[in-house]
Amino acid sequence: GQQVMQIPQYQHVQEGEDFTTYCNSSTTLSNIQWYKQRPGGHPVFLIQLVKSGEVKKQKRLTFQFGEAKKNSSLHITATQTTDVGTYFCAGPAGGTSYGKLTFGQGTILTVHP
Amino acid sequence: SAVISQKPSRDICQRGTSLTIQCQVDSQVTMMFWYRQQPGQSLTLIATANQGSEATYESGFVIDKFPISRPNLTFSTLTVSNMSPEDSSIYLCSALAPLGNEQFFGPGTRLTVL
């Protein structure tokens, strides 16, 4: 079945440093979604990318979808303590599984002030 | 966006007992899902809650252990039956956005089985 791999598993940065997490799928995706889960919280939808090579920005966050639509990345510029949490990518589960998502393992980001 | 509430937020249960978790959405949604998440881990889909029909379970999850109800388009329950310590986890419900592909999640239920 489809697999969504995410690296790194953990990332520790000093406040102000940049951060990037990478997501790779075993199959071509129609779209990729990114979620953020704060410690003790629940996943919150950040963004969806649909087009090959698409780049979207949300303030200090930049999301990219690969040309082959099998990989994606999330880059945070000048991290802040409010960026702490786990970042998940997720792709459609495929086949007839409408609405279902396959989540990556997540990258746990800690930011040291 | 949809606002989702879950009850209870947490519980401590004895092995062999059952717990029913409720999930309420503030608007009608076509699809609802139940996930399990161990601390520090990813989300594992348990099943899709189908309105008016039996839930669709993922590999490794069975109806006898995790019966699910979905009586209408805004509500679903997940029961964790005959619990063992291995069932200790966070259980999350989610709903598919009405006009998109993203999911909105409830706050989760933290279950501890002794």
Local structure of residue B43 (DSSP, 8 states): E
pLDDT the model gives residue B101: 86
Pick the residue of A45, A47, A86 with the most B CBs within 10 A to test the interface with B by mutation: A45
Phi, psi for residue A57 in degrees, rounded to 5: -125, 140
Euclidean distance between CA atoms B24 and B4, whole angstroms: 6
Task: Map chain A to HEC letters.
Answer: CCCEEEECCEEEEECCCCEEEEEEECCCCCCEEEEEECCCCCCEEEEEECCCCCEEEECCEEEEECCCCCEEEEEECCCCHHHCEEEEEEEECCCCCCCCEEECCCEEEEEEC
pLDDT the model gives residue A96: 55
pLDDT digits (tens, 9 = 90+) for A16-70: 999 999 999 999 999 999 999 999 999 999 999 999 999 999 999 999 999 999 9
pLDDT digits (tens, 9 = 90+) for B60-105: 999 999 999 999 999 999 999 999 999 999 999 999 998 888 999 9
Looking at the complex, report in whole angstroms how far the Cα of residue A109 sits from the nearest Cα belonging to chain B: 11
For residue A108, name the pLDDT band (cuts at 50, 70, 90). Answer: very high
pLDDT the model gives residue B53: 86
pLDDT digits (tens, 9 = 90+) for A80-95: 999 999 999 999 987 6
pLDDT the model gives residue A31: 93
pLDDT the model gives residue A4: 92
The residue among A57, A77, A55 whose CA lies nearest residue A67 is A55
pLDDT the model gives residue B20: 98
For residue A97, name the pLDDT band (cuts at 50, 70, 90). Answer: low
Residue B86: strand, helix, or coil: helix
What is chain B's mean pLDDT, rounded? 95
Euclidean distance between CA atoms B65 and B27, whole angstroms: 28
Rounded to a whole number of angstroms, the CA Rg of chain A reads 14
A45 in contact with chain B, both atoms CB, cutoff 8 A? yes
The residue among B102, B83, B114 whose CA lies nearest residue B21 is B83
Burial of residue A112 (number of CB atoms within 10 Å: 0-12, 13-18, 19+): exposed
Euclidean distance between CA atoms B60 and B37, whole angstroms: 15
pLDDT digits (tens, 9 = 90+) for B8-50: 999 999 999 999 999 999 999 999 999 999 988 999 999 999 8
pLDDT the model gives residue A1: 67
- Across the interface, whether the CB atoms of A43 and B43 are under 8 A apart is answered yes
